[in-house]
Structure formats: structure tokens, C-alpha cells
Structure 1
């Protein structure tokens, strides 16, 4: 085989669109597309290849000195990368918030890469800028439902922003709390604001000892990152215990009053609309009132649960979200858009001005450039994917998907309840639930508080072992987490965690997953020991 050369002529070919569908590059492109399609059509979640073995394919740390043919590298990608990826399309993949996508996104992804727009500035995105603003407007209306003249005034305004599009919920949450901090320590008299003078000067001017953010114990880890990045300190991300998996408004109010009586300032209460571990929703309506009483910002992290607003039958469970100063929603979760599509929405369109930045060469004052109010600078036009889904699926399409997922979760919960060897540990609020293996041979013993304290750690080991073996086998996948459960007096236990958002998953698939877990567990030393103890008693 001939050797690839580093020449300007060859490089030019790599940057040039193939002239014919029969050209070599076009054939390589088709091969890659066909291979991905074949991979996604398989029901296997992943190969049973160990991560250590896969790492051997990526052990070189030197940049290749000489080029190689596109066809050669394409084959390497297929053999080493695609073949060992996780098939998130599989109906047996129910362990995380990543799911099958509408197939039109594969074609749109090619368009997105081909256009290579940069949304930091209109000069590098043009039509993508008003498109993104339209998407933010549509999602703002879904949450806040303002009158028509509100959106006519603010949708494409250079002075206001209905929100910020970003790569995901982490950046969205950080942006929301960044805005909250800058508003709380805004310019006042001789003080030019925290954005210019810094946190220490802001605290001194306003007479605060510390600033804190309050959430439930189920709050996302991005909130801890936020207080770190904003200079508040990780100890100022305060979480309250919640065996019910929800933040108590009464506890939040009392804690906030005590904290502020010590010369501190509660910056924000963060309500969770769909916790990542259990899918629970905080009492948003009551928490909004608590935030108002305490004089702090109210942010809702609806990265997961925000899509519930599409459902007329279920949107009531997010009652109070419209009172939030800001809301995070991830389109790459329950809106079935590829990874990298999140947003934060602001009730007050002027709030984003608290973090507005300008630069003479790119983000000039008075422009409509989106980069002036976002943490990220250069980023692609992922809003196009959301725009496409909102039009191709429509609200009614999303409603069907949300309703189906929630119904599926309830069906799975019933399967678990009816199975003598399993225990449902949290009921589904949305389409997440948790459960664990609970051998019928020990059910009576678990009813004893004393015995459950000693048995639960053994069941924890069993859960971890089964989850790992099921994952490594590659046929199906559920995740695991640790929770405090009321029925066990708040004792933390390890549980299986499932997310039933994949529309391709059926009840039969769920039965197969339970059966596989039971098969794995029944040969374990813990299971056999439980059975022996039951026979002896």
C-alpha cells in the first residue's frame, strides 16, 4: 500500500468537498455512516471488553509525525472506537439520562459540522443567532408563559436576553448563580459592583460575612462547582438532609433565617425539578415563597424534569417553576437532542446584563452577539438541533414521549413490587426509579430494625456486584447510587437506578433486565448464604 504524504496538494484534498459520490472520500463517508447505523441497530449495550484492554489502543502520547490516509484512520476509528462505544440506543440501556435519538439528528449533525458556525458573534453565525434566540424564546414561553407583546419586545433585542444557550446543565447552573451573585453585589454608590471590584470588596460594601447557596442533598454536583468558581467556597454550598428526597420549605426557611441572622447573605435557594438520582421534584411553589421571604434568588435546576412542561397531564407537578428567577433545562436529556445542548432561562430579560462583557474586536456594546452574556466563547450551533426537534416533533410529540416514559416507569415499578426477589426503594415521580434485590428468604428479617442494620450492608455488596457483572457482560445496563430511605431509619443503602426515557424500551426488555439480575445474583455467595440461613431457621 502506498504511503500518505505531507503535501499541500494532499491537505487541500482533505479540506475539499468530494466532487462525486463515487470519489474515495465519499465512499469512506458512506462506510462510516453504514457502520454507525449497524452499531446502533444492535441491542447489545457494549462489548464485554475491559477498559484496560481498550486503553491499549490509546497508549501512544506522541503526535504522529507523518500523515496517514483518511481511509486508514477511518478503519481505526471503526475498529477501536465505534466497536467499543456504548450503544445508548439499545432498549436495554436504561441506566443513565442518555437515550436513543430521532434519526434525523444524524443528518443534521453532518450539516452542523459542515457549516461550522461560531455562535459567539453574528459575524461568524448570522442566521444561527436569531434561530438560537427563537429557541430560547420558545422555551421561555414554555416555562413562564408571558404575553405576546413581551416576546415581541425581547426576543431579538440587543439590550435584553431571555436566556443563554450552553453546552449543558453544569454551565447553565453556573451561569444562573453567576447572575445571582452579580445582582446581589451590584454597583451601589461608590461601589462599582462585584464584577469590577471583586468578591471581597462586595462583601465589605454590603456588610456580609459570607454568601451561601442552599439546596437539598440531592442537588447536582455542578452547584458545588458553582460556589467554588464564584469564590464563595465549597462550604457555602449547604445541603439539607431529606429522607423524603425533597427539600423541606420549613427547614429551608429556618436555616436561611438563622444564617442571615449571623451577618451572612443567602444568595440563592436552588429547587430541583427532577433529581438525577431519583427524579424527585422539590416543592417549587413553596420554595419560591421562602426565597421571596428571605430576599434571595430562586433558581430551579430542571435539567432533567423541565421537559415535563410539554405534558398537559403532568406539567402541574412543576407548579411554581414559573416563579423562579432562572431555570436550567437540558435539551440533550428528555428533549432527545444530541449531547451538548443546555440552556438557562431568565424570568427578567434584563438579568443577563449583570454578566454582560464587551471586547472591541468581537463583542461590541450594542451588538446582538450572544457571546457577551455567556461563560463560553466559541461554541457551535446546537440550538439548530433543538429548533429542528421542536418543529419536527412539536409540543404534542414531546407530550407523547414524556407521558409514555412516565407510564413506563410506573409499569416497571409494578413489576418490581410484584416480584418476590426485588424491592422498590423510591416510587417514580418522573421516569426515574430506584430498586434493589431483596431475597424473599430475608424479607421477614428486614422488617426488624436491628437485623436490617446488619443485613443492608450485605445487600449493598450484592447490589454492587450484580451491577458490575451486568455492565461488564454488555447485554444491558442499569446504574447504581446510595440513598437514605425512610423505611430503614435513614440508613444509606445501595440501589439500582434506572431512567426509562428510551422510547424503544418495552416491558419485555424490562423483564429481561430483572431476569438477568436475578440470574447473576442467585449464584453469589451472599444469596446462597441467605438461603442457607433461611433453611436453618
Structure 2
């Protein structure tokens, strides 16, 4: 007979086909009702308390003496965690690359958690292994790769970009010096290896170079043009300069959707330069990769199929819950550069017998079945509606930019949005006071009406809309702008 745990037994604490299944149904229903109640009460994206008050309330929750009814715990969460959370699905939550999740993917999270499969060895995730692989095949074909390509689901852009630098580094060392980095460490010449990316590239390029032993100084920034795209003339001159100095430029990182402006580097030109110089081309399409589903704007990805590797995030414009991304590889054999055999997970005999163990393709060991979320979403919603959702956010950005262009009290920085971000600032007042004024507006707005972002460009404080929610409309954004006017005018009067 099971030992009782307070009012619970093992049978009701652990998921199983008997009492555990009924308890799961009961708790999911309670949690769902509470969540829906919280969503219905959310009149604005953030209606919570100050950071100090939230910290105090959360601290009081962290006590584990005895056990409590799930209903009471969920009610406590409603009062503390949910009521003090940012509701990213709200139409006026347009701050970061933080999407409202589609409902099939939210349900997918429940299934993933309940099954609790780990995609490192086939015997831990039999069907999940094959679904992961088939979803990767579908993705590589969407991005124009052929049958020799491969990929792996990742936690997001940081991990995917890290893997691109890892494989590009080891591939170069192998070809240039016949040196096995995995076995022998970095070669003597490692401090002359160089990576080139635009000055607007994501910070994880430098971060990964530091973690991989090349050092952040191995990353060389290429100037951008007026549209914040990498300047290919400067790229070519830098490569020539490096070769004359005895340096080894081995990797170009192109960006498809910069964080601030959504800018897309000239991918076809970068591919041509990478081919000429025999360099690895990685495209960080964490933000812009969703264009692959767009009927209207897919052409902006022309050239991405020539990249040696691609980062794509699904917890941005694919509307998936965090975390969900992928790393795609044009030549799947390059995964051999990082493969490590562990007898208890992926012994050589398994490979000889055709057993697929995905741990050979990942920097992670234990890994979630995240491909299920994407599968459920695409299958339920359909590619056509997905395309409409994505396109609507791009069109909204264009409409917002058109509106701002006509307003005397705002300055629009990216006059022609590439994706769905709009960067601007409130400009009524003295120039020397505009930076603190715009910062104050962003902070006040968060606690009173809407969630928008801020960023600094050329030492000037700007505001930013990142419109990932297809339910957000132009009137919603105009209301936010009108509120910014009110806040700006009030703040100016009291300074």
C-alpha cells in the first residue's frame, strides 16, 4: 500500500493511468479557469505593482512547510504571479520580440510536459525522435536546402548562433590546418581567426566567440548603410585588409531581422562573397525567418538558401511559447564535428544499426519535444492563416510609419520598416531634455497603459514598437501615441 503524503498519495501525485489521470484533469481545469479569469481581467498589458512590492509578495510565497490544496495555490498565484505579469497577448503589448502564443502550441506544452520525453536517445523518445527529424526536413526544404541538409531544434537564437560559430570554427581548422579542435583544442593560430558581422548584429555573436575561446575581439564589425544593412563594400575591404595582415577571416554572419530595426542584410551579396573567399556564411534569421511562410514578403529571404547554416526562432513570429528555435545546416555531415559518443546514450553500434540518437546533433543532452508545438500549430491553423497573421503585422508597421511621418511631435527613425518594428521618439521640448523625457514616457506607459520598448541610437533615446500581435490594429497604436503625447506634455510642465 502506498505511503500517504499528507492528503495526497503517490497515485495522485504522479501522472498515471488511474487516479493520477483524474487528478491531472482536475488541476488542469482549475489552472485553465484561473488563467482565463486573469486574461479577462487584464485591461492593460501590465497592471501589477512596483518591483519592490512584487518582490515582497513573491518572497512570502516561497515556503514549503506541509502541503496545500492545488486550488488554494492557484488562487495565490492569481493574486501574486498572474496579476503581476506582463500579458503578452494584449493588443497594446508591443515592446519586445515576445509573441502571443497560438492556442494549439499552448496545448502542446501540456502534452510535452505530461509525456516528459527527452530527445537525446531513441529509446527515451521513440515517436518524438522521428517527428523532430521530419519537422527538420520540412523546415530545411522550406528554406531551400536539399536532401543533404539537416538541423536540430534548439532553445532559441543564442544556442543556434553558438552552434554556427562552433561548427564554422572547427570546420575551418580542419580544412586549413588538418586540426581536430574537438580532440586537441584550439590550434596555435587561433588568435588570428576572424568573424565578420554587421555593427547591428545580435550580441550573441560576440558572446559565442568569447565562450568558444576565440575572444570577443575576434569579431569585427562591418559598417551598415542608412537602412542598417551590412555594407558589402566595407565587408570586402575588411577581408582584404585582414588577409594582408596575415589574419584568417573564416565566417560571415548575416542578420535577417536586426533587433532594433528588423533590417535584413543583402543575403545574396553575402553568399557571393562567402563563396569567393571560401568562408562559412551563417544567417541569423531568428527574427526574420518567419518570412518563409509569407506569400507577400518571402522574397526578402532570397539568398538564404546559400547559407551554410541558419538560425530561426519559433517563439517570435511563429507564435510559439518560449522556448522554441532551430539550427539548420546545409551540409548535415558537419554535425560530425561535434558528435561525441557516450556508450549509455549513442553507442557506435546504434549508428551502425541505423538507430537515430539526436544527442549527436545538439549541444544539449536532455532536450524537450518542442517540435510538437510547431506541428500542432501549423496543422491546426494552416499555412494560409499563418501567412496572413505574419503579413498583417508587417502591413501594420508600414501604416504606423506612415502615420508617424505626418506627426510634428514625433521623429520617425526607420521611415520604411523592413519587418514589423518602428523606431521613433517624442520630440516636443529642448533636445537636451528629450532623452530623459522619452525614457520617462516609456516607464510611465508600462505602468499605466501599454508595453513599448526603448533603445539608444547614436546616444539618443528612442521608443520602439515591435508589433508581433496580428490582433493589434492601427487605432490601438494611435491610442498609444496619443497617450504618449499626454505623458510627454505633463512631464514637460513639471520639469
The two structures have a TM-score, normalised by structure 1, of 0.85
Task: Choose 90-99 or 363-372, whichever is displaced more.
Answer: 363-372
The structure 1 residue matched to 2:183, chosen from 185, 196, 205, is: 196
Q: What pairs with 1:84-483 in structure 2 (closer than 5 Å)?
A: 84-146=84-146, 150=147, 162-186=150-174, 193-199=180-186, 202=187, 204=188, 207=189, 209-242=191-224, 244=226, 245-365=228-348, 366=351, 367-426=355-414, 427-439=416-428, 455-473=430-448, 475-483=449-457
Cα separation, partners in 2 of 1:239 and 1:457, compared to 1, 3 Å: farther
Assess if the C-alpha contact under 8 Å between 1:100 and 1:503 holds in 2.
no
Encode CA deviations 1:425-478: one digit per residue, 9 max, x unaligned. 113111111011122xx6xxxxxxxxxxxx5442111111100111122x2111
User: Which stretch has the larger CA shift, 6-15 or 273-282?
Assistant: 6-15
Q: 5+ residue gaps in structure 1? A: 155-160, 443-454, 485-491, 530-537
Q: Which moved more, 1:58-67 or 1:125-134?
A: 58-67
**Larger deviation: 98-107 or 56-65?**
56-65
Quick check: 1:268–1:298 contact (8 Å CA) kept in 2?
yes
Question: In the aligned structure 1, how far is the partner of 2:76 from the partner of 2:48?
Answer: 19
C-alpha displacement of 1:336: 0.9
Moved more, 327-336 or 178-187: 178-187
Q: Deviations over 1:93-137 (max 9, x none)?
A: 011111222222232221111111111111111111111111111
Report the 3-state secondary structure (helix = DSSP H, G, I; strand = E; otherwise coil) of the residue aligned with 1:258: helix
Cα distance in structure 1, aligned partners of 2:256 and 2:473: 26
When residues 514 and 349 of structure 1 are mapped into structure 2, their CA distance, relative to the original with a 3 A threshold, is same
Measure how far apart 1:31 and its partner are: 2.1
Aligned counterparts of 1:48 and 1:385: Cα–Cα separation in 2: 30
Q: CA 1:273 to 1:457, structure 2 compared with 1: closer, same or farther past 3 Å?
A: farther
Aligned to 2:472: 505
- Cα deviation, 1:152-198, whole Å, max 9, x if unaligned, reads xx5xxxxxx61111111100110111111110112788x55011100
What residue in structure 1 maps to residue 461 of structure 2? 494
Equivalent-residue separation in structure 2 for 1:87 and 1:61 (angstroms): 21
SS in 2 for 1:523: helix
Following the alignment from structure 2 to structure 1, what is the Cα–Cα distance between the partners of residues 224 and 78?
A: 46
Question: Matched residue of 1:213: which SS?
Answer: strand
After superposition, the Cα gap between the structure-2 partners of 1:26 and 1:345, relative to the gap in structure 1 and judged at 3 Å, is closer
- Classify 1:61/1:398 alpha carbon distance in 2 versus 1 (closer, same or farther; 3 Å): closer
3-state SS, counterpart of residue 455 of structure 2: strand
Gap change, CA 1:302 and 1:71, over 3 Å in 2: same
Rate the CA distance shift 1:197–1:16 in 2: closer, same or farther, 3 A.
Answer: closer
SS at match of 2:413: strand
Deviation at 1:263, TM superposition (A): 2.0
* Helix, strand or coil at the partner of 2:170: helix
- In structure 2, do the counterparts of structure 1 residues 238 and 8 end up closer, same or farther at CA, with 3 Å as the change threshold? farther
Residue 119 of structure 1: SS of its match in structure 2? coil
Q: Secondary structure at the match of 1:84?
A: coil
- SS of 2:422 mapped into structure 1: strand
1:39 Cα deviation from its structure 2 partner: 2.4
Distance 1:113 1:517, change over 3 A: same
Q: 1:260–1:6: structure 2 CA closer, same or farther, 3 Å change rule? A: farther
CA contact (8 A) 1:467 1:480 kept: yes
Residues 28-107 of structure 1 correspond to what in structure 2 (within 5 A)?
Answer: 28-41=27-40, 42-59=42-59, 64-107=64-107
Partner SS state of residue 436, structure 1: strand
